[in-house]
Structure 1
Amino acid sequence: MHFAQYYLDCLSQASYLIGDETTGRAVLVDPRRDIDDYLRDAEAAGLRIELIIETHFHADFLSGHLELARATGATIAFGEAAETGYPIRRLRDGERISLGGAPGPSGVTLTVLATPGHTPESICLVVHEDPEAEEPYGVLTGDTLFVGDVGRPDLLATAGLTPEDMAGRLYRSLHGKLLTLPDATRVFPAHGAGSACGRNLSTETTSTIGDQRRHNYALQPMPEAEFVRLVTAGQPATPGYFAHDAALNRDGHPLLDTAPPAALTLDGALAACRDAGAVLLDSRPLAAYTEAHFTGSLHTGLDTRFAEYAGSVVAPGTPIVLVSEPGTEAEARLRLARIGYDHVLGYVPDPAAELARHPELVSRTRRLAAGEAPAGDAQLIDVRNPAEYEAGALPGARNLPLAALATSCATLDPDRPVVLYCRSGSRSVIAAALLEARGFRDVRDVIGGYQAAVSACG
């Protein structure tokens, strides 16, 4: 068996290439949109990708099933409950997919498990290196089971499915399907730590059913009602682009454009923003941005969770002009494309030089030292996720998570000072840029965030 995990750190996303080296037949599970690595590795291993399996409609990234199908001729497959805008093969609960050459299950084999809960169409795939062996090699758990957590059940509230109903389905999928597998079965999830698809994901990218049975908080013995209460509470705020990506993954989307972004003069970039309704998105490191940036630009550093944060502060479909460190603009564009943000008009070459030449267009981020008291009438805003806020917050702080700030900032008074903080200072700078672009007059963030503020207070 050929088995490879591809882990994309910037999105905490995992995909899998599984093949039978005897027959050369292979499947690709949960591919990302840029597919060159898969094609290169399959060719090197002598494998033909015949089937592309999606464990569910992903919300946090734009999947590469359409790109891969175009490149290989492979069939796209989803769980039986999926309804799509393009032809698919529907996989039934209990169906066996054989990559061997003989009739019936032979060689490397995958068994489909319908596991609704995170989404109605969610499936898991049990991998058998030998279909006659008593124990499977492992199980690809999608967003049903993570290392240290389970999939969040609250992403489909707008579709009329309550978090409580989905959590009940998730409980039954876990206990009726996944936890019936032997303890030695390896667990290969679709996401790891940092993903907004759960709240307690581990930095480990693999585990076993036995380890999860013992250590995963959501798999401890408890009634279904207690499980529902536990997994519906304290989930991270949902980034604004999630619904957009889920719809594109379900209905179809244009294929990835791999052309490099166009270089724009500063005048051209500003004209694009004015005439096309574009935003300037500054992807430079935090220190460079806070020291000097174009007034009104948004920020999310390429050295952070760039795409996820961009999808939290830039509305889907908005044209974007990049302000990037020289040589990083292509990477920034690719990361945006991975979440379906394809409308990049171009980039500003050598932004440091342009900022130096045009001081009239430059702003600096106003910041508070960790021990410095905000103005008496300031609105103190904690932009961390709800679970972080509930674990401890600064006195008088109101929780408006970064992922929801683009909509919730309407509840703030733009004429009163605003002081923002997060855990360590990165998200608060992104939030400050958003509020300044929305016309807030006095916005500051706490250097070092909550951790530094608590330390400064002794």
Structure 2
Amino acid sequence: MLFHQYYLECLSHASYLIGDEDSGRAVVVDPQRDVAEYIADAERAGLTIELVIETHFHADFLSGHLELAEATGAKIVYSSVAEAEFDVMGVADGERYTLGPPEANPVTLEFRHTPGHTPESLSIVVYEHADDEVPYGVLTGDTLFIGDVGRPDLLASIGFSRDELADMLYDSLHDKLMTLPDATRVYPAHGAGSACGKNLSTDLWSTMGDQKQTNYALRAPDKATFVELVTEGQPPAPGYFVYDAILNRQERELLDETAMPTAMSYDEVTTAIAKGAMLIDGREPEEFAHGHLRQAINVGLAGRYAEFAGSIVPSDVDIVLVTDPGQELEGKNRLARIGFDRVIGYLAEPYEVMVQHRDDVEVASRLTALAFNERMKEIDDIQVVDVRNPGEVAEGAIQGAIEIPVGQLPNRVDELDVTRPTVVYCAGGYRSSVAASLLRQRGFVDVSDLIGGYAAWTESVQSA
């Protein structure tokens, strides 16, 4: 058996290529939207991808099932209860699928319906040989993570209450997954950093036995306690989640991951902005602070670019990119991973443009922890904004700070006073640059962000 896990750090997303090397037949599970790597790896191993299996309708990324099916001729597989607008092969609870003739004792997949994170969620039990008693592993999608379980509240806005889904999730875990042998490896669809749970481990796999002993949700003594545990303290869902959950059900345009976005002149960019386009500057916060076009919002490519762009940019607006030369295609494709396809182009020769149009360039204020402390003493009406998630805030915060997670900031800007000097902070300085640039774009004049974030401030207080 060939079993390969792919891990996309910027979305904390795991996907899988599973093949029977004797028969040359393979499947891909939960693919990202740019699919060239799966195709290349399968060809290199002499495998033909015949199924694209989705564990559920994902909310945190736009899956590559349509792209991979178009490129390979593979069938798209969902749970038999899933309702999609394209042709799918629905699999029943307990159904098995072999990647070779029975006499060859091939790699075998067993589908188990595990609703809870979503109603159509399924898990895939993988047997290296059809007659094995102990599975090689189980692909749990967003039902079971390492250290956590899938959050049950993401579909509350489109017809399902979180308590209903949490009830389903408990039964799925106890009746379908925890019955597997302790030695069964657990391979989830996400790791630490994903907003699909609140306590995900940095480990990319575990065993069922280990999860029974260490996973807080699996150790809940009863269903009522479980529901309470998994429905409290979840991080705010990025704004694009519902958009992606719906789009993953639909027919849509396919991504050409090799197609460069269009180069645009300064005049073309300013015209597009005047018509409602948003300018996303993907350079590092330090580089952005040294000089950027006035309307630009800073979402660094080196971080969780698509997630935070999708948190602050509406899904129905045009986007113009600013990147370091050579990163334009990367910027387009990473936004496409969450279905943000309205990238109309990129600013050509950005550094030359900023030299030529200095009147449209501004410098962003960034404060060290020491400078921030001095400013707090000097300015009575300073407005401090904490853009971390509630779970982070609960572990400590700067006294008096207004708490607005960065993903909620576009809809909560009115809670802030545009006339007051403002300092924004996060955990380490990435999200605060995103938030501060958004506030400037919304008309705030005196805005700074805290270099190094809360961690740097805490260290400065302790060493004072």
Q: TM-score, normalised by structure 2?
A: 0.95
Instruction: Indicate the residue corresponding to 1:418 in structure 2.
Output: 422
For residues 54-98 of structure 1, what are the alpha-carbon distances to aligned partners after superposition, in whole Å with 9 as ceiling and x for unaligned?
A: 000011111010011111111111112211111111111111111
Please provide the CA RMSD for this pair. Answer: 1.5
Matched, 1:15 2:15: yes
Q: In the alignment, which residue of structure 2 is the partner of 1:391? A: 395
Aligned twin of 2:189: 190
The residue aligned with 2:4 is 4
| Between 404-413 and 128-137, the greater mean CA deviation after superposition | 404-413
Classify the secondary structure of the residue corresponding to 1:346: strand
Range that drifts further, 251-260 or 119-128 = 251-260
Distance 1:144 1:372 in 2: 48
Say which is worse superposed, 117-126 or 369-378, in terms of deviation.
369-378
Q: How does 1:237-276 map to 2 (within 5 A)?
A: 237-258=236-257, 259-275=259-275
User: Moved runs in structure 1, 4+ residues, more than 6 A?
Assistant: none
Is 1:91 matched up with 2:95?
Answer: no
| Displacement after TM superposition at 1:368 (Å) | 3.1
- Where do 1:327-406 residues align within 5 Å? 327-370=326-369, 371-374=373-376, 375-406=379-410
Contact between 2:220 and 2:226, CA under 8 Å: does it hold in 1? no
Q: Could you tell me how far 1:434 is from its partner in structure 2?
A: 0.9
* Counterpart residue type for residue 21 of structure 1: E
Partner SS for 1:16: strand
What's the offset of the Cα at 1:102?
A: 2.9
Residue 180 of structure 2: aligned partner: 181
Matched, 1:72 2:72: yes
- 1:152 aligned onto 2:143: no
Secondary structure in 2 matching 1:180? coil
Matched to 1:418, the amino acid is: T
Q: Secondary structure at the match of 1:140?
A: strand
Identical-pair percentage: 54
Mapped partners of 1:169, 1:393: distance in 2: 36
Give how far 1:18 is off. Answer: 1.0
CA contact (8 A) 2:20 2:100 kept: yes
Question: 1:394-426 CA distances to partner (integer Å, 9 max, x unpaired)?
Answer: 111222101111112232222233321101111
Alignment counterpart, residue 428 of structure 1, candidates 409, 428, 432: 432
Q: Gapped runs of 5+ residues in structure 2?
A: none
Confirm or deny: 8 A CA contact 1:423 1:450 kept in the other structure.
yes
Q: 1:196, 1:238 within 8 Å by CA — same for their partners in 2? A: yes
**Does the 8 A contact of 2:295 with 2:441 survive in 1?**
yes
What is the Cα deviation at residue 167 of structure 1?
1.4
d(CA) in 2 for partners of 1:187, 1:423 = 30
- Cα separation, 2, equivalents of 1:246 and 1:372: 46
Q: Assess, with a 3 A threshold, how the Cα gap between structure 1 residues 349 and 380 changes in structure 2: closer, same or farther.
A: same
CA shift digits 1:119-138 (9 cap, x unpaired): 11100000001121110000
Partner of 2:303: 304
1:320 alignment partner in structure 2? 319
* C-alpha contact 2:384 2:401 (8 A) present in aligned 1: yes
Alpha-carbon deviation of 1:221?
A: 4.0
Query: If the length of structure 1 is used for normalisation, what is the TM-score?
Result: 0.96
Q: Secondary structure of 2:49's match?
A: strand
Pairing 1:220–2:224 present: no
Other-structure match for 1:291: 290
Alpha-carbon deviation of 1:391?
A: 1.4
1:36 match:
36
Secondary structure of 1:19's aligned partner: strand
Bigger shift: residues 125-134 or 363-372: 363-372
State the secondary structure of the residue aligned to 2:414.
helix
Could you tell me how far apart the structure 1 residues matched to 2:417 and 2:156 are?
29
Mapped to 2, the partners of 1:348 and 1:221 lie a distance apart of: 53
Is this contact kept in 2: 1:324–1:349, CA < 8 A? no
1:455 and 2:459 are equivalent in the alignment: yes
The letter for the 1-side match of 2:242 is A
Please give the alpha-carbon distance, in whole angstroms, between the structure 1 residues aligned to 2:333 and 2:91. Answer: 31
1:195 Cα deviation from its structure 2 partner: 1.1
1:178 aligned partner, one-letter code: L
- Corresponding residue of 2:441: 437
1:52 counterpart letter in structure 2: V
Shift, 1:361, TM fit: 0.6
Q: CA deviation at 1:106?
A: 4.4
Query: Is the CA contact 2:151–2:231 (under 8 Å) kept in the aligned structure 1?
Result: yes
Answer yes or no: is the 8 Å Cα contact 1:99–1:106 preserved in 2.
Answer: no
Question: Alpha-carbon deviations, 1:314-338, whole Å to 9, x = none?
Answer: 1102111111011111111110111
- SS of aligned partner of 1:50: strand
Pair 1:138 & 2:160 matched: no
CA distance in 1, matches of 2:120, 2:412: 31
C-alpha distance in 1 between matches for 2:334 and 2:111: 31
List per-residue Cα deviations over 1:349-373 (Å, max 9, x = no partner).
3322222222111111123331234
Aligned to 2:208: 209
Check whether the contact 1:86–1:251 (CA below 8 A) recurs between aligned residues. Answer: yes
Q: SS where residue 310 of structure 1 aligns?
A: helix
More displaced stretch, 139-148 vs 94-103: 94-103
Deviation at 1:380, TM superposition (A): 2.0
2:429/2:451 contact within 8 Å kept: yes
What CA distance in whole angstroms lies between the structure 1 residues aligned with 2:54 and 2:196?
A: 16
- Name the CA distance, whole Å, in 2 between partners of 1:151 and 1:373: 42
Structure 1 segments unaligned to the other structure (5+ residues): none
Rounded to whole Å, the distance in 2 between the matches of 1:381 and 1:80 is 46
